[in-house]
Amino acid sequence: MYAKTGMWMVVLASTLALIPGASQAALIAHYNGEEIGNPLTDQAGGQTASAVGAGHQYQKPSAPAGTYGAITLATGLGSAVGIGATNNGSWHLDGTESAELNSLVNDFTVAAWYFVPSGGYAGLPRAIADDAAWDGDAWSFGIRNEGANVNKIDFTGNGIKGWLSPANTVTTGTWQHVAATKSSTSGVTLYHNGIQVANVADAQAKNNINAGNDVFGLARANNLSHQVVNNGVLIDEVRVYDTVLDAAGIIAAAEAGQIGPGPMDIGHGKPYSYSNMPGYSGGTHYFDDGRDQTPGAFDTGELTNGVVQSGAPGGAGQQLVGWDPLSESTEIIFDLDSEFLVSEVTIGTHTWNASDNGAPDSVVVSFSTTGTAGGDFGSPVSASFLRSDVPINGHNDLPSISISDIPARYVKLTFDGGGVLGGSNHPPNKWMLDEITIVGTAAPVVIPEPMTMLAVGLGVAGLVGYVRKRKRA
């Protein structure tokens, strides 16, 4: 969801204080999914969760405004995170946070927003879980779709006992909110979109969970060897409270995520085109997913899909975009679909010294509100980069380029092609990109002043009167 600063933090604190059933509640963990990259940050305490494995996705569109069962979102939640369908990854919470969650043995609440694609999923994509499976301690929470357990909410204690909602509680093709409370008096209660869907109040459900000593993680099965095949499942607004919230408290917590608009990756999933595509001088060639490199044809390839590449380049067809610059200029134009105020641009590169694959040493970013044909790109911002900006083989983000909230629908990146950072040979040699992040907010809608509207109205009325007089004449 959106980042919360200044006045919004005051509003958030006031909102949480008013959550029903949470008069003594402490929000001890809160991951809001708004980050542009690793690590994720706990908004409640400042701890971090670091990426492990592969396939980490950031800035995926989160739940939009709308009604979800008993929950109403007026403004939506901004951005979410996830793990690629065929990847084995998660985010490990740091030791301080993991110790705090391991100490929760009873009387607490855990909740998260989930997106489940229309194609469904298989396995146990946990929102938050302990690291070690079946070890007899700690707990995990998420959704499950395996064997007889079809689309159920799942809260598991001690790695062996799972409390589940009825089949097909979890729906596909949409965002939804799920929550669980663990209580010493009422057992385990599960909620879907703010509505109670299950309660188990036997002795086992009321007894304390065994305190653990495991690393906790986000977006995972119980351990990496039991990772879910999630086919695009996303999570957002993962929250843990140290008390039992009632139904009204669950709803208020779900709605607390929508504080107000903030910066996000406005280029995510948006198309782009090449306005100039120099030829190669030879050697291995790299392409985006369309593999056509057609200048002027908008693509929906790898540069805006939120996924960065790992490992050595595998040759033609690798999900990378690269050029052998030949001292020529290369331009990429991103179409944001509507006008935004652009505040930052980050260029993700993929260097591999053994293959002479480096990173561009400079770029000029320019902006347009009207289109790409008129040559009207202006407000250029230039940036240069150093060899120290690409310290490792594989993915490296070049230093972010700050932009002064420039209005734009189209953003153009112009690379001069004259220099390459990295690679074992001297330029010219190849440089490659694997992700472009464009951060900004929606441009404000200009509402005419009342007197302007009145003047326009009088002008139209006068014109109508004039036409009528002409007809009578």
Q: What is the C-alpha separation between 470 and 473, in angstroms, rounded?
A: 5
Per residue in 421-443, pLDDT tens?
A: 775 554 446 778 888 999 988 77
Domain span holding position 18: 7-260
Q: Are residues 225 and 281 in the same domain?
A: no
Asked if residue 276 belongs to a domain, the reply is yes
Asked if residue 465 belongs to a domain, the reply is no
Contact between residue 34 and residue 262 where contact means Cβ atoms under 8 Å apart: yes
Provide the H-helix boundaries in 242-326.
Answer: 247-255
DSSP per-residue string spanning 336-357: EEEEEEEEEEEEEEEEBGGGTE
Q: Are residues 322 and 253 in the same domain?
A: no
Asked if residue 453 belongs to a domain, the reply is no
Identify the DSSP state of 85: T
Q: What is the C-alpha separation between 437 and 449, in angstroms, rounded?
A: 36
Q: 66 φ, ψ to 5°? A: 160, 180
Q: Are residues 205 and 353 in the same domain?
A: no
Q: Are residues 139 and 286 in the same domain?
A: no
Residue 373 has a pLDDT of 58
Identify the DSSP state of 1: -
Q: Which segment of 13-17, 118-122, 332-336, 356-360 scores lowest on mean pLDDT?
A: 13-17
Contact between residue 465 and residue 459 where contact means Cβ atoms under 8 Å apart: no
Give the count of domains, the chain: 2
Per residue in 297-320, pLDDT tens?
A: 777 777 887 777 767 766 544 556
Asked if residue 448 belongs to a domain, the reply is no
98 φ/ψ sector (left φ>0, alpha ψ -120 to 50, else beta): alpha
Asked if residue 135 belongs to a domain, the reply is yes
Q: Tell me whether the omega of the peptide bond preceding residue 428 falls within 30 degrees of 0, making it cis.
A: yes
**What number of helices (H) and strands (E) belong to the chain?**
5, 29
Residue 10 neighbours by CB under 8 Å, 6+ apart: none
* Most confident by average pLDDT, 155-159, 434-438, 455-459: 434-438
- Between the alpha carbon of residue 467 and those of residues 464, 471, 472, the distances in Å are 5, 6, 9
Residue 462 has a pLDDT of 53
Pair of tokens at residue 214:
């495991």
Asked if residue 471 belongs to a domain, the reply is no
Q: What is the CATH number of the domain that holds 15?
A: 2.60.120.200
Contact between residue 333 and residue 412 where contact means Cβ atoms under 8 Å apart: yes
Three-class SS state of 86: coil
Q: Are residues 242 and 290 in the same domain?
A: no
* CA-based nearest residue to 379, from 404, 409, 347, 346: 404
Residue 447 has a pLDDT of 47
Confidence of residue 84 (pLDDT cuts 50, 70, 90): confident
Q: Are residues 144 and 225 in the same domain?
A: yes
Q: Are residues 242 and 269 in the same domain?
A: no
pLDDT at 240 over 90: yes
pLDDT at 402 over 90: yes
Q: Are residues 329 and 417 in the same domain?
A: yes
Asked if residue 332 belongs to a domain, the reply is yes
Contact between residue 358 and residue 419 where contact means Cβ atoms under 8 Å apart: no
- Between the alpha carbon of residue 335 and those of residues 271, 300, 370, the distances in Å are 6, 10, 11
Residue 16 has a pLDDT of 44
Average pLDDT, the chain: 79
Q: What is the CATH number of the domain that holds 380?
A: 2.60.120.1190
Q: Are residues 231 and 298 in the same domain?
A: no
In this prediction the pTM is 0.58
Residue 320 neighbours by CB under 8 Å, 6+ apart: 286, 287, 288, 302, 309, 313, 350, 432, 433, 434
**Pairwise pLDDT comparison (103 vs 392), residue with the higher score:** 103
Q: Are residues 269 and 312 in the same domain?
A: yes
Other C-beta atoms lying within 10 Å of the C-beta of residue 200: 16
Q: Are residues 67 and 212 in the same domain?
A: yes
Hey, what amino acid is at 240? V
Three-class SS state of 202: coil
Pair of tokens at residue 148:
């007889």
Contact between residue 389 and residue 421 where contact means Cβ atoms under 8 Å apart: yes
DSSP per-residue string spanning 103-151: T--SSEEEEEEEEE-TT--BB--EEEEESSTTSSSSEEEEEEEETTEEE
Q: Which of 237, 260, 283 is the last residue of a domain?
A: 260
Q: Are residues 112 and 224 in the same domain?
A: yes
Q: What is the C-alpha separation between 166 and 181, in angstroms, rounded?
A: 16
Asked if residue 103 belongs to a domain, the reply is yes
Contact between residue 143 and residue 116 where contact means Cβ atoms under 8 Å apart: yes
